[in-house]
Chain A
Amino acid sequence: MSSTGNFRGYVAVIGLEIHAQLKTASKMFCGDSTEFEAGDNENTSPVSVGMPGTLPVVNAKAIEYSVKAGLALGCEIRKKSVFSRKNYFYPDLPKGYQISQYDEPLCEHGKVTFHLDGQNHSISITRAHMEEDAGKSIHHGEYTLINYNRSGMPLLEIVSGPDMRTPAEAAEYARTVRKILRYLDVCDGNLEEGSLRCDCNVSVRKSEQDEFGTKVEIKNVNSFRFVEKAIEFEIDRQIDAIERGEKILQETRLWDPDKNRTFAMRTKENAQDYRYFPEPDLLPVIITPEMIEKFRKDLPELPLDRAQRFMAENGLPEYDALVLTAEKEVADYFEATAKVAGNAKAASNWIMTELLRELNQAEKSIAQSPIKPQQLGQMVALIEKGTISGKIGKQVFQEMWQSGKNPEDIIKEKNLVQISDSSAIEKMIDEVLAANTQQVADYRGGRTKLFGFFVGAVMKASKGQANPDMVNKVLLEKLKG
């Protein structure tokens, strides 16, 4: 493993192809539902099973989502892009061709920036093009079963430049793309259900050598952790092969997560000869400057921009800002909480340590949180004002989590208001000192470590409600004698 990009005197060159399924209600070229949970071939029609004589009609929403994604990935949007046919025979592709884009893709020349190991990394986006998904084959040895529910699902294929040098950088790039797509709400980014898929292109070359080595494509990588592991394995495998004097074959390999290694896929003869040509059943896609402006206005603030704003406006440390902006919903929650709380860092602490932990344990999303941002904000404000202590805050937080009640109501009901009345505190301290005369004598004799013991006793006597700052101050005075 290397975080610097030097692997036994070799440099790795990594590029990613990410297939993002667009979050439309219907398919790319017909009205079939895109619902994931559906019976066998339930979401199909003559178009998606490739019946002769059927014609594709473009889904306007898929175009909108693709343009938005392209803009957010810093791409230029082609005013006129063209669908092409990619021809190959496979039973899950009923027409004998996939409608894709080839020499005139919708989006080109973009850039994605993210933060890793204290540095900004910029990865170029070569292109992002629209295409339709194929169906699903279920192999049974003697025969194969085909489900076309996925056939015709709208995809955006995002192709990075060969810019990455370490497995960690590649995984972080993929996470960033997912985050951006989720912020835009154009893809749900669910890797298990296959609505985001990652193919990794990996090659290695000697550090002093300029030209690229032969690249190998890894498919079937369905988590970001596996992106990292698969590339790590592949770099080692290729270096081992070269060191043994073997040649690297240009091939497609499959990642096997159980065995932690990649395997060569059976190579199809002449597989790369797709004979692309412009799809005669579809007109070119014309995107006007007005459309681009309209979509650009709709774009939300993107994760890295938002993290930087949290640092600048709210004074959050970088770590907090990155954690809170990982999901748009969490960032929204934080902003709403901080506004009410009046102390952004305190709001951030409560969300990051308490709330996210509870949500995680309960396997809930932040939208399902029983504590609403206003409520958490009010609680933080009550701590800020001194109405309750931070320690009592934890108790109130638990009550809120269980009951969903407002913090003020909980404090009133349970009588948790912090005691800041100096005469009441003095009275409690006097009682504690009177009950522990030996310790008082010891303290005055020089055992100042006993101070903590007195604080604890007073806090216990007050059921945790005494204002700790005042307890400290008054105790110190009284112990002087």
Chain B
Amino acid sequence: MIDQKTVQHIATLARLYVTESEAQEYSRQLSKILGYFEQISQVNTQGVEPLVTPTEIECFWREDVVQKELSAEEIVANAPEKTGHLFTVPPVV
């Protein structure tokens, strides 16, 4: 059951603003979705390993080689605000 409080909590973690009526609506919708997926928990999974990825293809790792494609100037080129080659963001402390 996803109550309004949980919706507000998730919204806060995701940095979303949700009104009370929205929270009420999402609570109903999300509970429905979650209930639907909870049917899966009825499947007997005894002895079945948790699945992380559906493919068991070999891992691909890269060699430890330095590559440089873009300059610092190019990296910050699209930043809405910058100071020299640093990104400028609103104060965080």
Contacts and interface: CB of A to CB of B under 8 A. Distances in A.
Interface of A: 24-26, 30-33, 39-42, 44-46, 49, 57-63, 82, 87, 89-91, 137-148, 266, 269-270, 273, 275, 278, 283-286
A148 B15 CA distance: 22
B74 to A, nearest CB: 10
Contacts of A283: 53, 55, 57, 59-60
27 contacts: A26-B65, A26-B67, A32-B66, A33-B68, A39-B85, A40-B85, A40-B86, A41-B75, A41-B86, A41-B87, A42-B71, A44-B75, A45-B68, A58-B61, A59-B62, A87-B13, A90-B92, A143-B81, A143-B88, A144-B90, A146-B88, A146-B89, A148-B75, A270-B12, A273-B13, A283-B53, A284-B52
A395 to B, nearest CB: 49
Main SS of chain A's interface residues? loop
Interface in B20-58: 52-53, 55, 57-58
Given A31-B68, A45-B69, A82 B86 contact: no
Nearest to A149: B72
A476 B15 CA distance: 93
Contacts of B57: 283
A55 to B, nearest CB: 11
Given A31-B66, A143-B81, A283-B57, 11 more contacts: A33-B66, A44-B70, A59-B64, A60-B61, A60-B62, A60-B64, A61-B64, A144-B90, A147-B86, A266-B93, A285-B59
Interface of B: 9, 12-13, 15, 52-53, 55, 57-72, 75-76, 81, 83-93
B83 A145 contact: yes
Most buried by B among A49, A89, A144, A147: A144
A91 B92 contact: yes
A201 B20 CA distance: 39
Contact of A91 (B55, B58, B69, B89): B89
Contact of A41 (B64, B76, B91): B76
Given A31-B67, A61-B64, A142-B91, A39 B72 contact: yes
Nearest to A284: B52
A389 B89 CA distance: 70
B64 A278 contact: no
B43 to A, nearest CB: 19
A57 B61 contact: yes
B72 to A, nearest CB: 4
Contact of A144 (B9, B61, B64, B91): B91
A39 B71 CA distance: 10
A285 B52 CA distance: 11
A87 B92 CA distance: 17
B66 A143 contact: no
Contacts of B68: 31-33, 45
A305 B34 CA distance: 56
A25 B91 contact: no
Contact of A42 (B58, B85, B88, B89): B85
A62 B64 contact: yes
A146 B82 CA distance: 9
Nearest to A266: B93
A137 B52 CA distance: 34
Contacts of B9: 270, 273
B13 A275 contact: yes
Contacts of A285: 59
Contacts of A143: 81, 83, 88-91
A40 B84 contact: yes
Nearest to A147: B86
A82 B52 contact: yes
